[in-house]
Amino acid sequence: MYQCIGLLFLCYFIKFIITKNILESKSVQYKINKITKNNFIFSISLLPYFNKNNIDYFEFYKMIDFVSNNKNNYENIYKNSKISIKIRQLAKIQEEQQVILENIIEYANKKNVFVWIACVLKDDLNIEYNTYLKFLNKNYKNVGLTLASYNSSINTKVDNILKLKGHIRLVKGYYYGDINDYKMITNLYYLNAIKLIESKNFHTLATHDFELLNKLKKEYNSDFNNIELAFFLYIF
């Protein structure tokens, strides 16, 4: 498991949601410097608004450079900081989104930066999933897919991606899907988290459900070496 400290599961990984051009902010630089000095890693993403000019995707190149310049200097790409992209932010037309995304992932690959494809809306789930399968088939190693346990498709998608040796960020928190029963959502998260742990590949468990994380930790302590734990931080 990637390094953890403190209250059972306070882990050295934080996801930042930032607004445009905020990377130059001294306060953000201070926070990230403090995180990296304390052996945290971080993932940064752009606030999910979609402007009419669709120029936001240029910001992701800046993020890649920023992460590349603030690496923890691990040879293993999975142990370094990352970026997260919502496909819908890249363009209004799906064909353009795909082209832009692949260019960004290719650029990130050259910089040795890992990219998460983030989930946004229920209507986008299949686009995100099929896009990720395309990148797996093209043998990209620096990209993974975010899947939420609020969706009834979670079991099938997790199973298929694991068969293809892909990477999953499993989330339970600020998401909406076609399942509203919280107990069912939690159980689906638990069952699929087990699959990720037992695969012994790199994956992320993203949730603030520390009770559930502690349960998994007790049951699978020796198998957590490839699991990253993620927590959410919003920066204005």
Rounded to the nearest angstrom, the gap between the alpha carbon of residue 211 and the centroid of all alpha carbons in its chain is 21
pLDDT of residue 159: 98
CB–CB of 137/131 below 8 Å?
A: no
d(CA 158, CA 113): 23
Q: What domains appear along the chain, each with residue ranges and CATH number?
A: 4-234 (3.20.20.220)
Pairing relationship of beta strands 10-11 and 4-5 according to DSSP bridges = antiparallel
* CA-CA-CA-CA dihedral for 166, 157, 147, 218, to nearest 10: -80
**What average pLDDT does the segment 88-111 reach?**
93
CB–CB of 158/196 below 8 Å?
A: yes
What six digits make up the tokens of 215? 């349960």
Interaxial angle between packed helices 125-137 and 94-110, expressed in degrees from 0 to 180 and rounded to the nearest 10: 50
What six digits make up the tokens of 140? 């990209």
Q: What are the phi and psi torsion angles at 86 (to 5°)?
A: -100, 115
Residue-wise pLDDT for 18-41, tens only, equals 555 556 666 666 777 776 776 778
Question: Residue 228's beta-bridge partner residues?
Answer: 204
Residue-wise pLDDT for 122-144, tens only, equals 888 999 999 999 999 999 999 99
**Per-residue confidence at 147, pLDDT binned at 50, 70, 90?**
very high
What six digits make up the tokens of 57? 């995707």
Name the 3-class secondary structure at 3: coil
DSSP letters of 125-161? Answer: HHHHHHHHHHHHHTT-SSEEEEEETTSTTHHHHHHHH
d(CA 46, CA 36): 20
Pairing relationship of beta strands 114-117 and 143-148 according to DSSP bridges = parallel
Residue 76 has a CB neighbour count (10 Å cut-off) of 10
**Per-residue confidence at 3, pLDDT binned at 50, 70, 90?**
very low
Q: What is the pTM of this model?
A: 0.85
pLDDT of residue 136: 95
d(CA 112, CA 63): 13
